[in-house]
Amino acid sequence: MNKVTQRLLGPLTLLTLVATVILGLWVTPKATMHDGGGDLVRMLYVHPALAWVALYVSFGTTTIASALYLWKRTRSDTMDRVAYCAMEVSVLFIALTLITGSIWGRPTWGVWWAWDARLTSTAILLVLALGYLALRRANDDPQTRARRSAVYGILVALNVPIIHFAVTWWKSLHQNATVLTVSGKVSVHGSMLWTLLLSFIAFTLWYFWLLRARYRLEVRSDQAMQSHLAAAVVERQREGA
């Protein structure tokens, strides 16, 4: 990411998020849908975008970075850090996806939580992602930790296709595709469609902004650790002398 892109990322993220809020709350109309009417439909501009980032963008980042680390030609500390930071941010978005899904589901299904195939598999993904973070803390050797984390991260990502196809593989309370139906026809139109697409852009930019910020913190933490170890070695050498 070049300097120009880094400088524009924050303002673009803020601009698109604000535009999504304005369009979603005051411009787009209320609607009567199969999953609820009135203002409930405004969750359409929050929950699907969060799920998009939580499942596809963040785990896509983790999987690619993990695979690049396992491949000797592209193995580097950068890839390990990216995979780790992406998984941390992913935990946030998975949790937000489950929370907003429960808020949307309460007036629709009559309960805050249902043991639906997609909901349950998403909750399992959150547990597996937390297990990844725990695995990072269970290994002191950097290379061992990075290698095991990369393998585990790729295995965890295998749950994403299960979540995606859960609504078609099993009987599910969760609605099917919001934008494109099985026949390929768009199911929303007009300002609702444009606001929905804008929300996907806004939350994706937010994800990369958080990832960049978390990566910077991780680099600083590693540098501080290396400085501390170097100072400790020098101190031991002085004591030995």
Tens digit of each residue's pLDDT (9 = 90 or more) over 118-171: 888 999 999 999 999 999 988 778 899 999 999 999 999 999 988 888 777 776
Q: What's the pLDDT at 33? A: 47
Three-class SS state of 99: helix
CB count within 10 Å of CB 201 equals 16
Count of structural domains within the chain: 1
pLDDT at 98: 94
Q: What is the mean pLDDT of residues 85-102?
A: 95
Residue 81 has pLDDT above 90, yes or no: yes
Residues 6+ apart with CB under 8 A from 206: 13, 17, 53
pTM of the model: 0.85
* Residue reference for tokens 């309370």: 173
Domain of residue 159, residue span: 3-240
Dihedral sign from CA coordinates of 142, 144, 146, 149: negative
Tokens representing 192 are 């609702």
